[in-house]
Structure 1
Amino acid sequence: MSEQAPAGWYPDGQGNERYWDGSAWTEHVRTPPPVAYSPPPDPGAVAVVVATTETSESSNVLSKLGSVVKKAAADRKATKEEEAREHSERARAAGPLMTSGVFGISTIEIYEGGYVRVAEGREGNSRATDITRSTPFERLRSISFASPETEKPEAASPSSSIEGAVMQAMSGLVKGGKLLTKGTAIGLAASGVAQIAANSARKSSLVIATDRAIHTLTNQKHNGVYNVSQKEHNAVALALVEAGNAVLGIAGEPEPEVTVEAVAVAAALPATPTLSDRLRELSMLHQEGILSEDEFAAAKAKLIAGL
């Protein structure tokens, strides 16, 4: 034993411990004290603890998720209840139905309390959209009708503009001074353009502004090939405007009496279609095979060049 070792009990090499007094071994010998034994952890108990922890965490996640789902469902229910309540309140405020009518593919109802309901038809439909129990009541702000206006004599009509573009595109196909007739392919094309252009000239619009939307409606419906203007619906629009202005209490000069003759004259007046309307009509003729690719390209170029 090193002389630097402090006094204490040390193994004597024979399974016992002998006391070292700091300078020499003494006669004191003892049996080493027993070492405290710590048994290894039970794997089953560890698994139970882990499983319990995971189950607890999973339960917390499911609980939170369930709370989110329940809140979303409650919010949806509350929103529907609020919409139903508002719908009922507006229905009571609207009062009795004053008048209703179909304009183009849309159905309009005007109520004495200054409310309207509009079932706006989708473009391309061939029949009017019906008003249902869920169609909202909207506070009427204004209602106006725009019918075709007479163009100046010196101005080119929509019909002549489109027909001229198509005829110029087809002129290179006519040889030998042959006349164009409706029986020829070119004659059919010109006739189709004239029909579409004349139909577009009879297009009218009804604009209804409310506290929720601005409804821009036309007197057209789709006949399976292209949109057809229903000039007989103009009388309906005029009656709706009169009723709408009455519930709004608009003061002014008395409106002229609406007669069948006046409606017929207004429906016959041409309107100026936009460039997109004209291009759409040419595209329709091209898709139906009335115009070839070259004819369509030439007619389109003619329209664009006239801007």
Structure 2
Amino acid sequence: MSEQAPAGWYPDGSGSERYWDGAAWTAHVRTPAPPAPATPPPSSAVAVVVATSEPAASANVISKLGSVVKKAAADRKATKEEEARDHSERARAAGALVTSGVFGISTVEIYEGGYVRVAEGREGNSRATEITKATPFERLRSISFASPETDKPDSSAAGSPIEGAVMQAMSGIMKGGKLLTKGTAIGMAASGVAQLAANSARKSSLVIATDRAIHTLTNQKHNGVYNVSQKEHNTVALALVDAGNSVLGISAEPEPQVAVEAIAVAAAPPAAPTLSDRLRELSVLHQEGILSDDEFSAAKGKLLAGL
């Protein structure tokens, strides 16, 4: 060791350090201290930040989703509670039941407070829909009944089933709403066509307007094949109209006086269809596929043969 070297600890070549006093080696020996750990590069710090931030982001998303689900559930609960309160308030305001009845496949209840409950039947059902605890109370605005002008089908046409029932009843039904399909009309017996025409003529309607909806009910129900008009239900409809107008404070209007001449004109039977009218009806039925070529030719021939 050079004499110029300052005093201090220096490696002695055996893995230890010996103390140099500035002039000579002393007997003092020690084990060198371990090196300090290296500082991690900046990239490692970024990786740690990213790794620790991903679970936090996922937890935040899950928390937000949970809040949305809880809010939706709370809104549904609040809506149900509001509907229940409204139902209870309307039930108290409705008061006592005045009358009820079945019209067609629908059930109607009239209440003294000017409220009504309607269990409206679905078209094609054969049984009336019943009123339940959940059926809403609706404030009645108006109630009216519409009956057909005649309860009997036109029976003035004579001749074969094609000339009479098919040309008169079937064409009338088709013009009124095509209650018959092309597949079932072809080959249908004349008695069946006449029955359908009679049911269509006896169809009545009961219209109930409320603060929530307009219910249009009919006196028909399905018998498994087609809709059947229940004429006896018209009496029920009239009773419901009287009760509804009573709770609304509407008195029945007196029937208007009609001149004798007007009654005579209304009671006069309709004029019999001409040959041209029948030929046109046959042509329409043939064009729409109701009558086959053979049926059309046979009916047309019979009409022309009667000249």
Tell me which interval the TM-score lies in, with the shorter structure as reference length.
0.5 to 0.7
Contact 1:166 1:295 in 2 (8 A): no
Using structure 1 for the length normalisation, give the TM-score.
0.60
Pairs within 5 Å for 1:1-307: 39-41=39-41, 48-150=48-150, 163-164=166-167, 189-253=189-253
Q: Secondary structure at the match of 2:78?
A: helix
How many residues are matched? 211
The amino acid of 2:107's aligned partner reads T
Task: Tell me how far apart the structure 1 counterparts of residues 51 and 199 of structure 2 sit (CA, whole Å).
Answer: 77
Q: Secondary structure at the match of 2:130?
A: coil
List alignment gaps of at least 5 residues for structure 1. 1-36, 169-184, 256-281, 299-307
Could you say if the C-alpha distance between residues 65 and 99 of structure 1 is closer, same or farther in structure 2, counting changes exceeding 3 Å?
A: same
Task: Tell me how far apart the structure 2 counterparts of residues 126 and 239 of structure 1 sit (CA, whole Å).
Answer: 23
List alignment gaps of at least 5 residues for structure 2. 1-36, 158-162, 172-184, 256-284, 298-307
The amino acid of 2:131's aligned partner reads I
Give how far 1:102 is off. 0.4
CA RMSD in angstroms, aligned pairs only? 3.8
Task: Tell me how far apart the structure 2 counterparts of residues 231 and 253 of structure 1 sit (CA, whole Å).
Answer: 24
Question: Higher relative contact order at CA 8 Å, sep ≥6: structure 1 or structure 2?
Answer: 1
Contact 1:94 1:112 in 2 (8 A): yes
State which structure, 1 or 2, has the greater radius of gyration over its C-alpha atoms.
Answer: 2
Task: Tell me how far apart the structure 1 counterparts of residues 123 and 115 of structure 2 sit (CA, whole Å).
Answer: 25
Contact 1:140 1:209 in 2 (8 A): yes
Give how far 1:150 is off. 3.8
Task: Tell me how far apart the structure 1 counterparts of residues 81 and 170 of structure 2 sit (CA, whole Å).
Answer: 61
Task: Tell me how far apart the structure 1 counterparts of residues 204 and 133 of structure 2 sit (CA, whole Å).
Answer: 28
The amino acid of 1:191's aligned partner reads S
1:132-153, Cα deviation, whole Å (9 max, x unpaired): 11100000000001111149xx
Could you say if the C-alpha distance between residues 203 and 43 of structure 1 is closer, same or farther in structure 2, counting changes exceeding 3 Å?
A: same
Task: Tell me how far apart the structure 2 counterparts of residues 250 and 161 of structure 1 sit (CA, whole Å).
Answer: 46
- The percent of aligned pairs where both chains have the same amino acid is 78
Could you say if the C-alpha distance between residues 63 and 126 of structure 1 is closer, same or farther in structure 2, counting changes exceeding 3 Å?
A: same
Give how far 1:71 is off. 0.7
Give how far 1:164 is off. 1.0
Contact 1:203 1:229 in 2 (8 A): yes
